[in-house]
């Protein structure tokens, strides 16, 4: 049986704007798709039931009923029974920290097999040569964008964090070819950030993309793409927001930039050390 979620990732660009609303709801709220009738889903999304049926057929299903059956067979929570049992056992035995740590270690090991330093080098080279760097993200990805901005600012790069969609659209229209954009989308399917990246790409802008997953619509709107997982991860239930690998990618990009900006990096580092020393409660 086909996987609904994987089919959405592979076929997302084939969907119309209205059909993408249904696809997004499937990803973010699969339980609602399973439990609600098609008329109610259509009403919630402001689209016609026929649009939903058309979307399911584009995704390779006979119609909404077969799509719903497939989605239900995947499970509302895409964690395997074994992994789910491991989490339950950890909670019952008060070994939550050990379970969380092991889960993140597993994720990082998977990312180590996928991410290559050469890709970080190309991303860093693009950023160093840019006149201005814009860092973008929405929602929880916006929090990560702020984290990345902090790193870049400390390096002395001319950069701005833009985590509000209206201003992201303005940047998309105003950014010059000499500028660079770092866009973060943990899921890779958020239509708001996709719309912004499509505008930037259409205007000839350069985009470095950071995400959890390799095969997403988001990847197609970037020039350089960094992601640790080949496809949907079942490592834990908050699978849209696997933050530890994302934070590791951000830190790797920081040190890659630092190695390229050796003298500037050392100067910025010393400036920061002096500021910390001046503001510390305990003096040396």
For the stretch 40-87, pLDDT in tens is 999 989 899 999 999 999 998 889 988 888 887 765 444 444 555 555
Return d(Cα 249, Cα 268) in angstroms, integer. 21
| 8 A C-beta contact, residue 49 and residue 93 | no
- Residue 247 confidence (pLDDT): 94
The 3-state DSSP class for residue 5 equals: helix
- Sorted by sequence, the CB contacts under 8 Å of residue 36 that are 6+ apart come out as 44
Q: Which two tokens stand for residue 178?
A: 């000499």
> What Cα–Cα distance (Å) separates residue 139 from each residue in 86, 136, 144?
30, 10, 9
Q: List, in order of start, the domains of the chain with CATH numbers.
A: 4-74 (1.10.10.10), 110-276 (3.40.50.10490)
The number of C-alpha atoms within 13 Å of 62 and in the hemisphere containing its C-beta is 5
What pLDDT is stored for residue 191 in this prediction? 82
Instruction: Enumerate residues 6+ apart whose C-beta is below 8 A from 66.
Output: 56
pTM: 0.66
Regions in the chain scoring below 50 on pLDDT:
76-81, 239-240
């Amino acid at each position: 049986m086909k996987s609904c979620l994987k089919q959405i990732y592979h076929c997302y660009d084939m969907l119309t704007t209205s059909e993408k609303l249904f696809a997004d709801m499937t990803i973010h709220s699969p339980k609602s798709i399973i439990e609600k009738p098609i008329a109610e889903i259509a009403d919630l999304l402001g689209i016609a039931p026929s649009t939903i049926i058309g979307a399911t057929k584009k995704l390779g299903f006979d119609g909404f009923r077969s799509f719903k059956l497939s989605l239900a067979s995947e499970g509302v929570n895409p964690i395997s029974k074994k992994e789910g049992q491991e989490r339950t056992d950890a909670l019952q035995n008060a070994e939550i920290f050990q379970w969380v740590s092991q889960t993140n270690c597993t994720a990082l090991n998977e990312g180590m097999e996928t991410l290559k330093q050469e890709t970080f080098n190309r991303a860093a080279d693009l950023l160093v040569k840019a006149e201005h760097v814009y860092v973008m993200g929405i929602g929880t990805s916006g929090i990560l964008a702020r984290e990345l901005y902090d790193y870049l600012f400390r390096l002395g790069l001319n950069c701005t964090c833009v985590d509000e969609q209206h201003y992201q659209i303005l940047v998309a229209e105003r950014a010059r070819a000499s500028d660079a954009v770092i866009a973060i989308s943990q899921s890779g399917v958020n239509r708001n950030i996709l719309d912004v990246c499509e505008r930037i790409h259409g205007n000839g802008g350069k985009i470095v993309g950071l995400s959890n997953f390799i095969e997403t619509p988001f990847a197609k709107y970037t020039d350089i793409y960094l992601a640790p997982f080949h496809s949907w991860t079942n490592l834990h239930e908050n699978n849209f927001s696997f933050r530890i690998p994302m934070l590791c990618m951000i830190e790797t990009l920081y040190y890659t930039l630092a190695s390229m900006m050796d003298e500037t990096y050392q100067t910025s580092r010393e400036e920061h050390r002096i500021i910390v020393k001046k503001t510390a409660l305990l003096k040396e």
